[in-house]
């Protein structure tokens, strides 16, 4: 049982490093939090591509034997949670194709909002798909181009797709990075000696001792070859962007730099603002580890209430914990987070967490705090109430499953069984980041989506993510 949305995916690429597969393995290891269902690596020795991918964690899928078989000094890797496409090994990435005597591997972080209509159009004209993930649409669109140049083919495909996508692509000779014009997903450029690296988060660079150079800009393609790095734009610079602010709130590792800011420091600011907006009389501030820890630290600093470790996370609980009955599901929450009775008994505690999605886990957790003897239990959330789905790569459920879409804050408070409940305001959240508000996507809180046109809404509805009782605004 998990009351948090799934992460989407993590990307890593490197060019010009002996035994590149080992470095990619480490990069993916640092990005494991972005996807735990499947992973894969494709490498090139300049003449041909090699691939290994499977379901499972990076440490389970790869070993010294299969890493040795991935020859070459360049390659890309991917960790995945399914957003579009089932959780099957055939959907594991990178996707690998041979066509017209050339090989191409593609790894994608994000979600295309017009993939359904594009797929139907491609199938009507003869394309045969091997997977159910939207990323394969990009490969088929590239194959339709008459150009022999892979970058030209890529630009042709990018003109047709809409949505969120950071991409890393590999040919025999090139490593390519792409970020969509809206800038939904992060993609970072780094350097290790004279070698170039690409990663979803800078924490991957830290592990391999590479230097963070800059972010790939929205609408930019970077191409890395033996001759070095070149950059080109495939879309004009936008006045507005749609950087996913939930990266700062929950998804990214706190030691990463995302959208120009260190995630831990942003989360601290979120917590500080939360304490000012929703003050409370309590003995201890208790973070829900790990994503609530930085915000709880900020809340403690601003409120003057001591931070205490009253909830301890078990880091060895996998996603496959079996929960066939309600009593076992309740115990599943306790397996992941154990409450320290000696800390909370007789105390007024304020729990700080990053979000509430369905509310089921939070409710059980509050019950466990009460059972441990807490005199009062208050809850503070470091973002606004999630009322709408995300179509850009976050696995938020449909609105009828989102507790804030169905109930008021007071009703959620009563359902959770807390003495008080406070969510950070939209204005408070946006005040904690440096970029202007119009540079961020806040669709899952306000229900206003970046892409215009009936076609986009039609494809959103095709994904059956939207119930009829909410209004979807576009603009």
pLDDT tens across 393-443, in order? 777 657 888 999 999 999 999 999 999 999 999 999 999 999 999 999 999
Tell me the per-residue pLDDT of 262-309, one tens digit each, with 9 for 90 and over. 999 999 999 999 999 999 999 999 999 988 999 999 999 999 999 999
133 labelled ligand-binding: no
pLDDT band at 190 (very low <50, low <70, confident <90, very high): very high
354 labelled ligand-binding: yes
Would you name the residues annotated as active-site residues?
9
Single pTM value for the model: 0.88
Which pLDDT belongs to residue 194? 96
Among residues 449, 475, 223, which one has the least CA distance to residue 463? 449
Is residue 463 predicted with pLDDT exceeding 60? no
Among residues 398, 12, 385, which one has the least CA distance to residue 210? 12
Instruction: Name the residue with higher pLDDT: 420 or 84.
Output: 420
Report how far apart the first and last C-alpha atoms of the chain are (Å, whole number).
35
Is residue 85 predicted with pLDDT exceeding 60? no
d(CA 79, CA 93): 7
Tell me the per-residue pLDDT of 364-382, one tens digit each, with 9 for 90 and over. 999 999 999 999 999 999 9
> ω into residue 433 within 30 of 0, thus cis?
no
244 labelled ligand-binding: yes
Which pLDDT belongs to residue 316? 66
Among residues 77, 85, 121, which one has the least CA distance to residue 6? 85
d(CA 92, CA 77): 11
Among residues 245, 309, 311, 302, which one has the least CA distance to residue 278? 302
Tell me the per-residue pLDDT of 220-255, one tens digit each, with 9 for 90 and over. 999 999 999 999 999 988 788 999 999 999 999 999
- % of the chain residues with pLDDT over 70: 87
Is residue 132 predicted with pLDDT exceeding 90? no
300 labelled ligand-binding: no
Which pLDDT belongs to residue 323? 40
383 labelled ligand-binding: no
Which pLDDT belongs to residue 318? 52
d(CA 34, CA 94): 15
Average pLDDT over residues 357-369: 94
Which pLDDT belongs to residue 458? 40
Mean pLDDT computed over every residue of the chain: 88
- % of the chain residues with pLDDT over 90: 72
390 labelled ligand-binding: yes
Residues 6+ apart with CB under 8 A from 444: 246, 386, 387, 388, 389, 390, 394, 396
d(CA 274, CA 282): 15
Average pLDDT over residues 107-117: 92
Average pLDDT over residues 169-180: 97
Average pLDDT over residues 156-165: 94
Tell me the per-residue pLDDT of 17-34, one tens digit each, with 9 for 90 and over. 999 999 999 999 999 999
Which pLDDT belongs to residue 127? 84
> ω into residue 290 within 30 of 0, thus cis?
yes
pLDDT band at 336 (very low <50, low <70, confident <90, very high): confident
Domains of the chain from N-terminus onward: 9-238 (3.60.20.10), 263-438 (3.40.50.2020)
């Amino acid at each position: 049982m998990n009351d948090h949305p799934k992460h989407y995916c993590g990307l890593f690429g490197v060019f010009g490093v002996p035994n590149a597969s080992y470095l990619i393995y480490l990069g993916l290891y640092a990005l494991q939090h972005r996807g735990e269902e499947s992973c894969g690596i494709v490498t090139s020795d300049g003449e041909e591509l090699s691939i290994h991918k499977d379901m499972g964690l990076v440490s389970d899928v790869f070993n010294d034997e299969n890493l040795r078989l991935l020859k070459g000094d360049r390659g890309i890797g991917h960790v995945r949670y399914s957003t579009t496409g089932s959780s099957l090994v055939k959907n594991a990435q990178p996707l690998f194709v041979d066509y017209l005597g050339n090989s191409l591997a593609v790894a994608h972080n994000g979600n295309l909002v017009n993939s359904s209509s594009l797929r139907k159009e491609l199938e009507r004209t003869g394309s045969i798909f091997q997977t159910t993930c939207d990323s394969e649409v990009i490969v088929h669109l590239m194959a339709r181009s008459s150009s022999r140049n892979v970058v030209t083919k890529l630009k042709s495909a990018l003109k047709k797709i809409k949505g969120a996508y950071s991409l890393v692509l590999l040919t025999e000779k090139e490593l390519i990075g792409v970020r969509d014009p809206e800038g939904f997903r992060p993609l970072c450029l780094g350097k290790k000696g004279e070698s170039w690296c690409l990663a979803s988060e800078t924490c991957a660079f830290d592990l391999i001792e590479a230097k963070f150079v800059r972010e790939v800009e929205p609408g930019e393609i970077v191409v890395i070859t033996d001759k070095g790095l070149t950059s080109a734009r495939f879309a004009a610079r936008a006045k507005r962007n749609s950087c996913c602010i939930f990266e700062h709130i929950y998804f990214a590792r706190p030691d990463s730099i995302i959208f120009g800011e260190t995630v831990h420091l942003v989360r601290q600011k979120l917590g500080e603002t939360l304490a000012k907006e929703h003050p409370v009389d309590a003995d201890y501030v208790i973070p829900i580890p790990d994503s609530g820890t930085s915000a709880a630290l900020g809340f403690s600093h601003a409120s003057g209430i001591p931070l205490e470790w009253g909830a301890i996370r078990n880091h060895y609980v996998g996603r496959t914990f079996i929960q066939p009955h309600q009593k076992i599901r309740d115990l599943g929450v306790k397996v992941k987070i154990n409450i320290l009775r000696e800390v909370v008994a007789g105390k007024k505690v304020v729990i700080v967490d990053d979000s509430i999605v369905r509310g089921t886990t939070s409710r059980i957790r509050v019950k466990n705090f009460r059972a441990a003897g807490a005199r009062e239990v208050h809850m503070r959330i470091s973002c606004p109430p999630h009322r709408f789905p995300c179509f850009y790569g976050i696995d938020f459920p449909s609105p009828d499953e989102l507790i804030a879409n169905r109930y008021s804050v007071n009703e959620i408070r009563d359902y959770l069984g807390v003495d008080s409940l406070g969510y950070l305001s939209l204005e408070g959240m946006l005040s904690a980041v440096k970029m202007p508000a119009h540079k961020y996507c806040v669709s899952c809180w306000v229900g206003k989506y970046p892409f215009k046109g009936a076609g986009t809404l039609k494809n959103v509805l095709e994904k059956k993510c939207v119930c009829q009782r909410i209004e979807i605004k576009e603009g």
